[in-house]
């Protein structure tokens, strides 16, 4: 088929796949060619047409194989002995050579035209592939550009991404981005109702985010009420129709279309998808969004479970304090502020266990943990690093403040529990690793024991 004939055939192609079929038919007229066309959709290259193959690759990541490399670089490829090329992916035995050219539309690479051959290919062949790719790109530009994902395909892509995030904040942001993308709308907002009836903004994206978040509480409470029964709700754009109470205020804020769906993991949470332009929302879109929030609820439960597991892994199960692994991990860090490293050893605790039993000993340890937490600030960290050994990492301005914290621990234990403690403290200066101060705090602890126990002593880093 001559170039003019190819252009004529492409002009008759009514969609992307038909146009790709015209190109591979054109190239397949050469008996030495095994042609295929790949177009990008959803971040992967999809086989839009192929001839003379019994099987083809699909879902190819950019950069994979010769085709993926051509797409990623935007540069044509020719190799008369492609089997020795490190990027070559064999799909048919006996292939000898390969030529590939990028397909561009509106200045963007959207795919690639590829030819494999059992015979040798030269620059004349590469030029023929390039002309076919250029002609295809011109026709696809007229048809709107590259392949378009359907809303359902976009939903699947986002659902896959949701499985890769495991913190609540990242899941919530991914849900908002997915909802706006699937619905083809410009904004998405996550609202939550509190026990006091106030509705708060959890997260939001898009030009309407701030406006919806700043809407009157009456309008936001109405949005939550619409999904309380497990239903979804959306505006139909009927001119002259009756707005629900509060919607007029949202329209005044620039909301042209609105969809509301409840999150099944939390009865007082609602996903709001909105657009600045008045538009019709179809029920098929709502169905896809319902699938999204169902999947999101599962992802949120997993993220919360991950947080719980991490907390359990970092917490002493008896006292609820941090455990020795967390303490020693922190010691190997360098901090940008002075930190008091404080070690605590309970005095004669073994007698409690021997005399009253381990149940009484465990009860006392929990009381000790509470007393230590009362002696420090919320930002300070308390650890149980051994049976009756504890540690504190506390921000302090100088050695005097570090010693004051250690003294408070002694006093709180004396007043709140039936046990006393020997305490050693050392200030780690800003910019120094905390373990530099550990040995000196330990020396101060043993000095407190030698001095008669029930006291705190400190040591300064040299």
Q: How confident is the model at residue 264 (pLDDT cuts 50, 70, 90)?
A: low
With b for 16 or more beta-carbon neighbours within 10 A and e for fewer, the 269-285 pattern comes to bbbbbbbbeeeebeeeb
Higher pLDDT, 346 or 316: 346
- The CATH number that applies at residue 365 is 3.30.70.270
Angular region, 246: left φ>0, alpha ψ -120 to 50, beta rest? left
Question: Which of residues 310, 335, 363 is at a domain's end?
Answer: 310
What is residue 238's predicted lDDT score, i.e. its pLDDT? 54
What is residue 265's predicted lDDT score, i.e. its pLDDT? 60
What is residue 30's predicted lDDT score, i.e. its pLDDT? 95
| Each residue's pLDDT tens digit, 16-26 | 999 999 999 99
For residue 36, pLDDT over 90 is answered with: yes
What is residue 38's predicted lDDT score, i.e. its pLDDT? 96
Q: For 446, which DSSP code? A: H
Closest CA to 256 of 232, 240, 274, 234: 274
- The CATH number that applies at residue 166 is 3.30.450.40
SS3 203: strand
Q: How confident is the model at residue 244 (pLDDT cuts 50, 70, 90)?
A: low
| Each residue's pLDDT tens digit, 140-176 | 999 998 888 888 888 888 888 877 777 888 888 989 9
Angular region, 452: left φ>0, alpha ψ -120 to 50, beta rest? left
Question: Which of residues 310, 345, 366 is at a domain's end?
Answer: 310
Within 8 A by CB and 6+ apart from 135, the residues are 3, 6, 7, 10, 23
User: Phi and psi dihedrals of 35, rounded to 5?
Assistant: -90, 155
Residue pair 33/58 in contact by the 8 Å Cβ criterion: no
Residue at 57 is within a domain: yes
The domain tally of the chain equals 3
For 294, the domain range is 151-310
Claim to verify: residue 372 and residue 416 sit in the same structural domain: yes
* Spatial separation of the C-alpha atoms in residues 314 and 380, rounded to whole Å: 15
Question: Which of residues 251, 282, 310 is at a domain's end?
Answer: 310
Claim to verify: residue 84 and residue 125 sit in the same structural domain: yes
Residue pair 90/12 in contact by the 8 Å Cβ criterion: no
DSSP string of 382-431, one letter each residue: EEE-SSSEEEEEEE-SSHHHHHHHHHHHHHHHHHHSS--EEEEEEEEPTT
């Amino acid at each position: 088929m001559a170039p003019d004939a190819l252009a004529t055939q492409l002009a008759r192609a009514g969609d992307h796949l038909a146009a790709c079929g015209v190109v591979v038919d054109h190239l397949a007229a050469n008996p030495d060619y095994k042609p295929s066309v790949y177009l990008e959709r959803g971040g992967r290259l999809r086989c839009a047409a192929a001839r003379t193959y019994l099987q083809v690759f699909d879902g190819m990541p950019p950069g994979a194989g010769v085709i993926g490399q051509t797409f990623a670089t935007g540069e044509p490829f020719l190799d008369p002995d492609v089997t020795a090329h490190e990027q070559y992916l064999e799909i048919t035995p006996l292939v000898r050579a390969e030529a590939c050219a990028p397909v561009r539309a509106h200045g963007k690479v959207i795919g690639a035209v590829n030819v494999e051959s059992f015979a040798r290919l030269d620059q004349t062949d590469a030029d023929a592939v390039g002309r076919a790719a250029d002609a295809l790109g011109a026709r696809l530009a007229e048809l709107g550009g590259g392949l378009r994902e359907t809303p359902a395909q976009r939903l699947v892509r986002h659902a896959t991404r949701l499985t890769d995030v495991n913190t609540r904040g990242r899941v919530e942001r991914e849900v908002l981005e997915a909802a706006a993308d699937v619905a083809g709308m410009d904004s998405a907002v996550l609202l939550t109702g509190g026990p006091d009836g106030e509705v708060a903004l959890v997260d939001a994206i898009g030009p309407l985010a701030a406006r919806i978040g700043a809407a009157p509480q009456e309008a936001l409470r109405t949005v939550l009420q619409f999904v309380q029964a497990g239903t979804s709700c959306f505006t139909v754009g009927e001119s002259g129709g009756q707005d629900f109470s509060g919607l007029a205020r949202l329209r005044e804020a620039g909301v042209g279309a609105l969809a509301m769906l409840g999150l099944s993991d939390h009865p007082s949470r609602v996903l709001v998808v909105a657009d600045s332009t008045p538009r019709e929302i179809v029920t098929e879109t709502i169905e896809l969004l319902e699938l999204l929030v169902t999947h999101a609820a599962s992802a949120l439960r997993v993220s919360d479970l991950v947080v719980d597991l991490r907390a359990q892994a970092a917490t002493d199960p008896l006292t609820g304090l941090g455990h020795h692994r967390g303490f020693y991990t922190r010691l190997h860090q360098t901090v940008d502020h002075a930190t008091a490293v404080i070690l605590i050893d309970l005095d004669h605790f073994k007698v409690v266990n021997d005399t009253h039993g381990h149940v009484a000993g465990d009860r006392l340890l929990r009381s000790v943990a509470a007393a230590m937490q009362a002696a420090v600030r919320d930002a300070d960290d308390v650890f149980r690093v051994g049976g009756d050994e504890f540690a504190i990492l506390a921000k302090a301005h100088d050695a005097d403040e570090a010693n004051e914290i250690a003294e408070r621990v002694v006093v709180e234990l004396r007043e709140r529990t039936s046990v006393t403690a020997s305490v050693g403290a050392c200030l780690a200066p800003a910019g120094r690793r905390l373990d530099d101060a550990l040995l000196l705090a330990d020396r101060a602890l043993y000095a407190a024991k030698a001095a008669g126990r029930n006291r705190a002593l400190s040591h300064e880093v040299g």
